[in-house]
Amino acid sequence: MTVSLSVCLSLSLCLSVSLPACLSVSQVNFVVCQLCALLSAFWFRLFLHPSRTRPVVRHVVATLLGLYFALFCFGWYALHFLVQSGLTYGIMILTGVEHMHKYCLLVALGYLSFCQITRVYVFDYGMYSADFTGPMMVITQKITSLAFEIHDGERMPSLLEYFSYSCNFMGILAGPTCSYNDYIAFIEGGACRHRDLEPHRKANGKLRQSEPSPNTEVVRKVFTCFLSLMVFLSVCKVFPVERNVDDDFIANTPLYAQVVYLYLSMLTTRPKYYFVWTMADAINNAAGFGFNGYNSDGSPRWDLISNLRILDIEFATSFKVFLDNWNIQTAHWLKRVCYERCPYNPTAATFILSAMWHGAYPGYYLTFLTGIIITLAARAVRHNVRPYFLGSPAHKLLYDIITWAATQIAVCYTVVPFVLLSVGPSLKFYRSVETTGRRRHEDTRLISQPKVLYIKTVQQTQEVIPFSHTHTHTHTHTNLRTLRKRSPPLTTVK
């Protein structure tokens, strides 16, 4: 522990000096803890391998390391993790299996909401620091998922297994959420053996390894983290999202430029999520957790608990594809506990639950309420329009290009309140989009009526230009009378 503490303090000091002002001190501490967790994960896999270490030892070490990192990163606020987990475990013991999943969801989500409300409205509204409610969001997913699994017939875990599952060092800071059965199989060493029992164990003439090494995948994901962090630190101040609601920007910028800037400003907010979730995935893989069988070419897959697919996100051609590849484990959790079980309007219920889980900022609710409308509209468009573009590859390519652009703009439009947080700036953004679009529509409509514009131009010329010659003056009036007879009255044009 002393060695780990000195390493964490040294890394924290070095990074706080070297990294620019885009990251706060608490966020630097978060990055340091994740790097230490990555090193600990390699040690955990190599020296506490399940083939020579009892499961109880692995449970104890994983739990103690997790609590240690939580205390280092969040201080005594980390006690909320134990309180929330303890309350729901008591409910699992005291209530029957028939209703325990409902009570656990209510208590866990209620305690999370209480902490989020007090942090936002009592302590530091609008501060995007590494707050302690972030890990509580992941713990809420885990303990409610476990409650639903027990309700569906799984066995009740011991207290040690329960805290190891909810507070282990690999996922306590940034997740991702995983199934309780998958985690227990990893601790006991049965995950690889279970997924290796496939009908075709040979690929390309080579026998697949019974326990593949995650090193290559970890290196690839760490490199992705490094690139994401560098991109975020480079552009975090170049395209601020707040400029989308700046009065001068709205008044003096053409519509197409506003749309392009909207896309770029929201695009530059995503690398920080890529960094956090990819690093969390790499930590679990380094510990040996996340093996998901083999690809068709015989290469091992380490995406069991992956939380995103970056290329599928950036090139998504529908709102659904974007959501299916963004925060994947949260989407699975919402599907298990809400979408598949809600008898009335599961889409709306799922978005509302997601907003409550995310936090107390009003912008979250605006985002997810908008998401309901966008989702339903996207379904209708895909169902009614897409069949007309499947006749040829060229038409399909054109459809993909159009839907990619529409999807990216729709996502940006939906997510802006999520970043702005407050009601005022969010509604100002929506009003600016509506006003700019209406102004562009009016300009287009006027341009499409050249006759009306010509009449107005002639009238203005008559009023402004002084005619010095009687002949010219009379000739102009004659032309105007003739033109009025041939043209519809101006009162019909709004």
Instruction: Look up residue 228 and give its two tokens.
Output: 């994401």
Output the pLDDT for position 284.
97
In this prediction, residue 8 has a pLDDT band, given cuts at 50, 70 and 90, of low
Mean of the per-residue pLDDT values for the chain?
A: 83
Q: What percent of the chain has pLDDT over 90?
A: 61
Output the pLDDT for position 335.
94
Query: Which residues form the catalytic set?
Result: 327, 358
The answer to whether 140 and 328 have CB atoms below 8 angstroms apart is: no
What is the number of residues in the chain?
494
199 vs 435, which has greater pLDDT? 435
Q: What is the pLDDT of residues 288-311, one digit of tens each?
A: 999 999 998 888 999 999 999 999
Hey, how many other C-beta atoms are within 10 angstroms of the C-beta on 211?
A: 16
The secondary structure of 454-475 as a DSSP string is HHHHHHHHHHHSPP--HHHHHH
Output the pLDDT for position 390.
85
Q: What is the pLDDT of residues 441-489, one digit of tens each?
A: 555 554 555 544 444 554 555 554 444 444 444 444 444 444 444 444 4
Output the pLDDT for position 22.
59
Query: What CA–CA distance (Å, rounded) separates 168 from 77?
Result: 17
CA-to-CA separations, 258 to 244, 409, 436, in angstroms, rounded: 7, 11, 10
Output the pLDDT for position 487.
44
Query: What CA–CA distance (Å, rounded) separates 298 from 255?
Result: 50
Residue 205 has pLDDT above 80, yes or no: no
Q: What is the pLDDT of residues 230-282, one digit of tens each?
A: 999 888 789 999 999 999 999 888 989 999 999 999 999 999 999 999 999 99
Residue 95 has pLDDT above 60, yes or no: yes
457 vs 174, which has greater pLDDT? 174
The secondary structure of 99-137 as a DSSP string is THHHHHHHHHHHHHHHHHHHIIIII-TT--S--THHHHH
Output the pLDDT for position 369.
92
Q: What is the pLDDT of residues 374-427, one digit of tens each?
A: 999 999 988 888 888 888 889 999 999 999 999 999 999 999 999 999 899 999
Q: What is the pLDDT of residues 30-75, one digit of tens each?
A: 999 999 999 999 999 999 999 999 999 999 999 999 999 999 999 8
| Residue ranges covered by each domain of the chain | 1-197+211-240+271-294, 308-443, 450-492
In this prediction, residue 432 has a pLDDT band, given cuts at 50, 70 and 90, of confident
In this prediction, residue 343 has a pLDDT band, given cuts at 50, 70 and 90, of confident
pTM: 0.83
275 vs 192, which has greater pLDDT? 275
Q: What percent of the chain has pLDDT over 70?
A: 78
CA-to-CA separations, 253 to 249, 384, 430, in angstroms, rounded: 6, 35, 16
Output the pLDDT for position 445.
54
Q: What is the mean pLDDT of residues 106-117?
A: 95
User: What SS3 state is found at 308?
Assistant: strand
In this prediction, residue 220 has a pLDDT band, given cuts at 50, 70 and 90, of very high
Output the pLDDT for position 237.
82
